[in-house]
Structure 1
Amino acid sequence: MTLQTSETTNTLEDEGDAFRDECGVFGIYGRQDAAAVVTLGLHALQHRGQEAAGIVSYDGKQFFVERHIGLIGDTFTKQSVIDRLQGSRAIGHTRYSTTGGEGLRNVQPFFAEFAGGGFAVAHNGNITNAMTLQKQLQKRGAIFSSTSDTETILHLIAVSSGTQLVDKFIDAITQLEGAFSLVGLSEKKMIGARDPLGIRPLVLGDLDGAYILASETCALDIIGARFVRDIKPGEMVIVTDKGVESRFPFEKTKPRFCIFEYVYFARPDSIIEGRNVYEARKKIGTELAVESPVEADLVVPVPDSGVPAAIGFAQGSGIPFELGIIRNHYVGRTFIQPTAAIRHMGVKLKHNANKRMLEGKRVVLVDDSIVRGTTSQKIVQMVREAGAREVHMRIASPPTMSSCFYGVDTPEKAKLLASRMSIEEMADFIRVDSLAFLSIDGLYRAVNEPSRNNEQPQFCDACFTGDYPTQLTDHEGVDNVRTLSLLANNG
């Protein structure tokens, strides 16, 4: 079996005070232009990772790999790139690393040649016992070529005593802790799997008889595919020429889907676990208006993520909605900031106050979350400089108190503003006249749950509550601080 590969690199800037989307996965089985379809699917999933992307295809004789750092539209648009990815089946991945260093060696999908043939895997999530597993594998002679937790899966498959690839795959994933939605590709199969809690999304689609696995339904829409169903928590699907086979290799447990997907990560036009994301975000805003009313003249979203919640807040409060802040969509992460003075102006590169709307007004700013608070501080200052008489901030989620260990890049706990300040102190820090967050029960009501069941929570909400639903083996003895400095998360 031979492998053809092409790799390129360029430099990306880190943006600082914001949550980072995890990663997106996409696979198709049974279509001649498979790589082109995967490219389109990854375009739709670009919001889940803007650092790098990769595609692996198979033409019945050999695997082809393209891995590039940069946006899909910058790296996979040349026809020559797509032409090199031959075959009727392919999987792809768009990435943002959550821990460890950047670099092409960590770009997915990962590929390996086993005794039984080649295999590629792409992963959305974070394996919380990856370091422990890697140390065990290294003692057995394993040599790792990346710093990604995803590579652990390939090594576990390689050392498995199973006789068939599917058995080896099951042996590997049942040793994992944490969150994972996986798409794998062998010479005869495409495999999808979701962790027992279903923390990260994965859906099954159909495009004229070709089966698709994708992180979100918006990736099906862009190619005109039909949504079939969500892959269930703990489910493994095996796609072959004969169709789709379903297995459940994990012990059944109560699902804990990530509730922050509804707040920020998923695209508004996606259907996630049966819920329309845009509708959920509007309802979040309505709940926020009920819980934390304020006398004001305008409701202004912090674009773009605050827009649906701001619409809901305006509808729930009766206060007019206006675009008091305009976002520049043409500033990318590669923008060079050569001096301290230019860096200080950075917020205005992406956002600018609409002075005519704000001058002399009492303004309610609606945003999805506050991380370190520095961006919120600059946004508030910009609105005040535009002439706003009062500035009130309403946040469409509870205070972010804890780090995420399931595939979302969050700062360590000590750097989260809400972990070290009261709401009153936070209001003083970002210089607003008032500040309020959505309650945890309000968030649950917005996604059609009456309240949070504290004994058996319906979602993973660890970033708000500190209630982690899985073992954190690699983090034992550490006070919620990221310690996997050697592991670059797959996404």
Structure 2
Amino acid sequence: MLTTNPFDDDHLHEECGIFGVSGSEGAAALVALGLHALQHRGQEAAGITSFDGHHFHTKKAMGHVAGNFDSEAVIGALPGSVACGHVRYSTTGETALRNVQPLYAELASGGFAVAHNGNISNAMKVRRELIRRGSIFQSTSDTETIIHLVATSNYRTLLDRFIDALKQIEGAYALIVMTPEGMIACRDPLGIRPLVMGKLNDSIIFASETVALDVVGAEFVRDVEPGELVIVQGTEMRSVRPFGPVAPRPCIFEWVYFSRPDSIVDDQSVYSVRKAIGQQLAIEAPVEADLVIPVPDSGVPAAIGYAQESGIPFELGIIRSHYVGRTFIQPGDKVRHLGVKLKHNANRALIKGKRVVLIDDSIVRGTTSLKIVQMMREAGAAEVHMRIASPPTKHSCFYGVDTPERAKLLAATHDLGAMTDFIHADSLAFVTIDGLYKALGKSERSQYRPGYCDACFTGDYPTALTDHDDTAAVDQFAMLEERVA
């Protein structure tokens, strides 16, 4: 099979998207609509679980929401006034139906369904201990550790058992949980992963992004706060905060790439922030050129900002076809190479003889940037300058983003000059970390209170990385044993 979207293959992939409804008959239909709006956050699989007051009902499928959850028969098999759903891009666990969420289990207290956006950074350690104590896991997903921790907790009430479970896990999570008693939505104490709350008539809605509220006609109420648990029973709601206060560190990449540009994240328009990043990039890395060209589609707002600040005309120099699927069957390498152009093609008449500035959101392995620069050269560009609307990605993410191991990150192994040579550009520049913070309304990045999780740029991880550290220790011990032998 051939992936015909080469510009997406070398991006950091979104974690997951979650959506929940309580207090609305036909809740599953609303969840399906909400998941459509969150499809960009996970395109590998989708699932919906509903509760009709007596029984839980679940439908899971590989692939997109469309085609799996848009028929009356499917939605009709998910009755009830409470439902939650999930779109998945796997960061932990194999690609298999058993890992598709919501995950569901029958506990002593009744049914328990959970949809999770993020990554539990001590899941392997917790899992080993749970298995030692007799737990039997049905998936390879880190999310299942939460179910087992709740099931084995010694606390009396379900809420207390859930809180007990949360206090034993590390990392990033936004969760929607369904039980016979009601729905619980929560974020990790640092608020690394996003979660918002809305209202539609009398129903309460939770979603990873505000755009999902817009699609179902719901009113945005507020963000679920870092470390907060919102408990909903029918249309009644209360809040508890079981964790001690800490300075929030939401993921800065939500504004750079993950969230849809029409979403509001932590009271800031994603589109406006991306334009501001482009403006800051033009201030920090100006260049004499004829055209500013975005890499579709994620580079568009930053390219507009760069063009406005620099005075260089903005043009669509790369045209994307919206009518080509992700894959098709092909007989050989020649057709495979030509298939790349089915999805994106250079606007040759516009580019020929011009000095162009390409704007993209990030460079991961560098292979995509190389293809884009080559495309511009083949279209006759006189000069090709690359400008990136984020700092160099030098470190892996352990909080729910599918990041290559550090050795495969171009910026981790190459300096700026070597990166420029690798992608065959005339020049290359990234927005600085302080410039990124300025675009978000901060004066600069504070070393002591950064305000965001920016570990992929700085290596400053805000939580313990137990599983990673344990693995590194095992690998180091193995190397020592090999040397001794």
Place the TM-score, normalised by the shorter chain, in its bin: over 0.9
Query: Which of 107, 114, 135 matches 1:114?
Result: 107
Residues 370 and 242 (structure 1), Cα distance of their counterparts in 2 relative to 1, 3 Å cut:
closer
**Residue 182 of structure 1 aligns to a residue in which SS?**
strand
Aligned residue in 1 for 2:481: none
Tell me, in whole angstroms, the C-alpha distance in 2 between the residues paired with 1:346 and 1:151.
39
Aligned residue in 1 for 2:414: 421
Does 2:362 correspond to 1:369? yes
In the alignment, is the contact (CA less than 8 A) between 2:93 and 2:142 conserved in 1? Answer: no
CA shift for structure 1 position 12 = 9.5
Tell me, in whole angstroms, the C-alpha distance in 2 between the residues paired with 1:221 and 1:261.
18
Tell me, in whole angstroms, the C-alpha distance in 1 between the residues paired with 2:473 and 2:293.
34
1:123-272 equivalences under 5 Å are 123-241=116-234, 243-272=236-265
In the alignment, is the contact (CA less than 8 A) between 2:203 and 2:235 conserved in 1? Answer: no
In the alignment, is the contact (CA less than 8 A) between 1:475 and 1:482 conserved in 2? Answer: no
Alpha-carbon RMSD: 1.9
Tell me, in whole angstroms, the C-alpha distance in 2 between the residues paired with 1:364 and 1:299.
5
Aligned residue in 2 for 1:103: 96
Tell me, in whole angstroms, the C-alpha distance in 1 between the residues paired with 2:191 and 2:42.
20
Amino acid at match of 1:238: I
Tell me, in whole angstroms, the C-alpha distance in 2 between the residues paired with 1:68 and 1:337.
26
Tell me, in whole angstroms, the C-alpha distance in 2 between the residues paired with 1:379 and 1:32.
48
**Residue 476 of structure 1 aligns to a residue in which SS?**
helix
Q: Which string of whole-angstrom CA distances, capped at 9 and with x for unpartnered residues, describes residues 330-358 of structure 1?
A: 33334335533333345323210001110
Moved more, 218-227 or 469-478: 469-478
CA shift for structure 1 position 482 = 12
Residues 172 and 271 (structure 1), Cα distance of their counterparts in 2 relative to 1, 3 Å cut:
same
Structure 2, unaligned runs of 5 or more: 477-485
Amino acid at match of 1:450: S
Aligned residue in 1 for 2:445: 452
CA shift for structure 1 position 251 = 1.6
Amino acid at match of 2:332: T
CA shift for structure 1 position 477 = 5.4
Tell me, in whole angstroms, the C-alpha distance in 2 between the residues paired with 1:140 and 1:349.
53
Residues 176 and 95 (structure 1), Cα distance of their counterparts in 2 relative to 1, 3 Å cut:
same
Tell me, in whole angstroms, the C-alpha distance in 2 between the residues paired with 1:337 and 1:67.
30
Tell me, in whole angstroms, the C-alpha distance in 2 between the residues paired with 1:98 and 1:337.
29
Residues 479 and 399 (structure 1), Cα distance of their counterparts in 2 relative to 1, 3 Å cut:
farther
Tell me, in whole angstroms, the C-alpha distance in 2 between the residues paired with 1:236 and 1:373.
40
Aligned residue in 2 for 1:466: 459
CA shift for structure 1 position 101 = 1.9
CA shift for structure 1 position 478 = 5.4
Aligned residue in 1 for 2:285: 292
**Residue 228 of structure 1 aligns to a residue in which SS?**
strand
Does 2:22 correspond to 1:57? no
**Residue 213 of structure 2 aligns to a residue in which SS?**
helix
CA shift for structure 1 position 201 = 0.3
Tell me, in whole angstroms, the C-alpha distance in 2 between the residues paired with 1:373 and 1:439.
18
Larger relative contact order (CA 8 Å, sep ≥ 6):
1
In the alignment, is the contact (CA less than 8 A) between 1:347 and 1:379 conserved in 2? Answer: no
Tell me, in whole angstroms, the C-alpha distance in 2 between the residues paired with 1:482 and 1:319.
51
In the alignment, is the contact (CA less than 8 A) between 1:204 and 1:228 conserved in 2? Answer: yes
Structure 1, unaligned runs of 5 or more: 1-10, 484-491
Tell me, in whole angstroms, the C-alpha distance in 2 between the residues paired with 1:439 and 1:477.
32
Query: Which of 418, 434, 442 matches 2:435?
Result: 442
Aligned residue in 1 for 2:483: none
Tell me, in whole angstroms, the C-alpha distance in 2 between the residues paired with 1:342 and 1:56.
42
CA shift for structure 1 position 231 = 0.4
Tell me, in whole angstroms, the C-alpha distance in 2 between the residues paired with 1:355 and 1:372.
26
Query: Which of 392, 398, 408 matches 2:391?
Result: 398
CA shift for structure 1 position 250 = 1.2
In the alignment, is the contact (CA less than 8 A) between 2:407 and 2:413 conserved in 1? Answer: yes
Residues 54 and 300 (structure 1), Cα distance of their counterparts in 2 relative to 1, 3 Å cut:
same
Does 2:408 correspond to 1:407? no
State TM-score, norm by structure 1.
0.94
Q: Which string of whole-angstrom CA distances, capped at 9 and with x for unpartnered residues, describes residues 410-454 of structure 1?
A: 100000001000111111111110000000000000010110001
CA shift for structure 1 position 245 = 0.7
Query: Which of 295, 299, 321 matches 1:302?
Result: 295
Tell me, in whole angstroms, the C-alpha distance in 1 between the residues paired with 2:365 and 2:198.
38
In the alignment, is the contact (CA less than 8 A) between 1:198 and 1:257 conserved in 2? Answer: yes
Residues 182 and 403 (structure 1), Cα distance of their counterparts in 2 relative to 1, 3 Å cut:
same
Tell me, in whole angstroms, the C-alpha distance in 1 between the residues paired with 2:222 and 2:440.
19
Of Structure 1 and Structure 2, the greater helix share is in: 2
CA shift for structure 1 position 13 = 9.8
1:18-29 equivalences under 5 Å are 18-29=11-22
Amino acid at match of 2:68: T
State TM-score, norm by structure 2.
0.95
Tell me, in whole angstroms, the C-alpha distance in 2 between the residues paired with 1:330 and 1:251.
50
